[in-house]
Amino acid sequence: MTTSLQDGQGAAGRAAARDSPLAVQVCGAAQGRGDARDLAPAPWLHARALLPPPDGTRGCAADRRKKKDLDVLEVPSIPNPFPELCCSPFTSVLSAGLFPKANSRKKQVIKVYSEDETSRALEVPSDITARDVCQLLILKNHYVDDHSWTLYEHLPHIGLERIIEDHELVVEVLSNWGMEEENKLYFRKNYAKYEFFKNPTYFFPEHMVSFATETNGEISPTQILQIFLSSNTYPEIHGFLHAKEQGKKSWKKIYFLLRRSGLYFSTKGTSKEPRHLQFFSDFGNSDIYVSLAGKKKHGAPANYGFCFKPNKARGPRDLKMLCAEEEQSRTCWVTAIRLLKYGMQLYQNYMHPYQGRSGYSSQSISPMRSISENSLVAMDFSGQKSRVIENPTEALSVAVEEGLAWRKKGCLRLGNHGSPTASSQSSATSLAIHRSQPWFHHKISRDEAQRLIIQQGLVDGVFLVRDSQSNPKTFVLSMSHAQKIKHFQIIPVEDDGEMFHTLDDGHTRFTDLIQLVEFYQLNKGVLPCKLKHYCAKIAL
């Protein structure tokens, strides 16, 4: 009887061994002889199970079972999580030492900076993604998540910066930093991060893009993205770029071609023949960076530089510096390189912003819930009882009256700190009512305004309002349109002792800058497009 039981145990052990290595350990422990901590390899276990028991042991089965139970009770035990793999009815518990200890994720402290140089330290696991870090900062600071928050890698010693893609592991990015380098992680908005999925024609001008011969005829914007995302098609970006010669300070203008296999340049004019093309850089082991001060740090011919930086770069000599002649050209090159390097992963990041590799995105971080507009109703609290305003026209008029009342209260508060005259109250209000707005930047220069708009994305409608440096009584509206930054002067106009602000020489007047911005957010007017996204400096 004992022999048949052992034969059955051996067959069960062989079946478990075929399933998984962990099953070998579990079944081996369940049918172990005398000591549950004694784990034997599968072949040894099978051979031993098939051997007949020695003489004199058939009558001592009860003693052996008793001794085995005592040995099992000597070690800390837990309930068996694999009952279907254990074939012995006598062993109901397993030793805790049989199971490998769960490897807890290693944690690391990172520091993230904002544009005003305030910072926040975060303790994160090693497998956290850039999107997860953005989600943590959004939730901790109670920001509105519009999918434009981005994590940047900033290299100040060489004047480079790049977007850390949402799926990239932050700890891996930090592992490429040298001990002596003062690199930083920045957290800010970038409205153009995935804008090329919405308006690809802005990012890929016709004179820079060519496709395979089978795509003859007009190509729709959707087809442009499909060609880039598909590995079977043949996109090509071509044009002249200034390249920095290796080991020299001089720059040379060369004709470049960007293909799936890498970036090439022509040794003979604009020839695309294979014998005239020479390899320049690939995407697999390099990242694409944007140059922040190309003229000053690298002697570039323009401020539209970018470069390939190998992941294990030893110094500035390993950088492959390039420079475009305009911002649209640089944007096209950088966007195409991102698409060719990451492909469908970028599209998944755009379509599923909360899907990350670590557990933060799916378990501990949930997307911020927004209140549906259908659940909001207009209320009137002026009478003894509150009532719901069902008439849309009445609701709109009440909203306008409340806005005017809020401004009047602001005027009175500001007037109490100044002179009692009405003119001083009006001037104080017009000067101070807009200072609390996130789109207003007090005394920044024209170059600083352009840098801030470029950092947050050259998307149509990105704007800010600032003080004019040439005329202290006026303001300037700086905005982006068609990947160019334009500046419009806001002129004060006086009429019957009251001051107004205008953009069109007095044809449209506004009592303050808030009214002006709100109007052009709804109406194009004299501007090339409506105001859509405001540039704001956040504090962590």
Tell me the per-residue pLDDT of 470-528, one tens digit each, with 9 for 90 and over. Answer: 888 889 999 999 889 999 999 988 888 888 899 988 888 898 899 999 999 999 899 99
CA distances from 283 to 171, 311, 325 (A): 20, 10, 23
Residues of the chain with CATH 3.10.20.90: 107-189
Which segment of 54-63, 367-376, 514-523 scores lowest on mean pLDDT?
367-376
SS3 per residue for 339-387: HHHHCHHHHHHHHCCCCCCCHHHHHHCCCCCCCCHHHCCCEECCCCCCE
Return the structure tokens found at 186: 């920045």
CB 151 within 8 A of CB 187: yes
pLDDT-derived band at 79, boundaries 50, 70, 90? low
Question: What pLDDT, in 10s, does the model give residues 191-233?
Answer: 999 999 988 888 888 899 887 655 555 677 777 788 888 877 7
pLDDT-derived band at 329, boundaries 50, 70, 90? very high
Q: Is residue 7's pLDDT more than 90?
A: no
CB 27 within 8 A of CB 85: yes
Distance of CA 161 to the CA centre of its chain: 14
Question: What pLDDT, in 10s, does the model give residues 86-141?
Answer: 544 444 444 444 444 445 568 899 999 998 889 999 999 999 999 999 999 999 98
Contacts of 54 (CB under 8 A, 6+ apart): none
pLDDT-derived band at 11, boundaries 50, 70, 90? very low
Contacts of 273 (CB under 8 A, 6+ apart): none
pLDDT-derived band at 355, boundaries 50, 70, 90? low
Per-residue confidence (pLDDT) for residue 104, from 0 to 100: 54
Architecture label for domain 107-189: Roll (3.10)
Residues of the chain with CATH 3.30.505.10: 433-534
171 against 77, higher pLDDT: 171
Please tell me which of 122-131, 244-253, 464-473 the model is most confident about, judged by mean pLDDT. 122-131
Name the DSSP letter for residue 199.
Answer: -
Return the structure tokens found at 319: 């950088």
SS3 of 6, please?
Answer: helix
Question: What pLDDT, in 10s, does the model give residues 390-434?
Answer: 777 677 766 766 666 655 555 544 444 444 444 444 444 445 667
Mutual angle of helices 221-229 and 327-342, in 10-degree steps? 50
State pTM to two decimals. Answer: 0.67
Fold that domain 433-534 belongs to in CATH: SHC Adaptor Protein (3.30.505)
Amino acid at 263: L
Cβ count near 521 (within 10 Å): 14
Amino acid at 152: Y
Alpha helices in 285-326 (DSSP H): 294-298
Mutual angle of helices 2-19 and 21-30, in 10-degree steps? 160
Architecture label for domain 194-351: Roll (2.30)
Name the DSSP letter for residue 98.
Answer: G
CB 512 within 8 A of CB 501: yes
Q: Is residue 188's pLDDT more than 90?
A: yes
Q: For 23-44, give the DSSP string.
A: HHHHHHHHT-SS-TT----HHH
pLDDT-derived band at 436, boundaries 50, 70, 90? confident
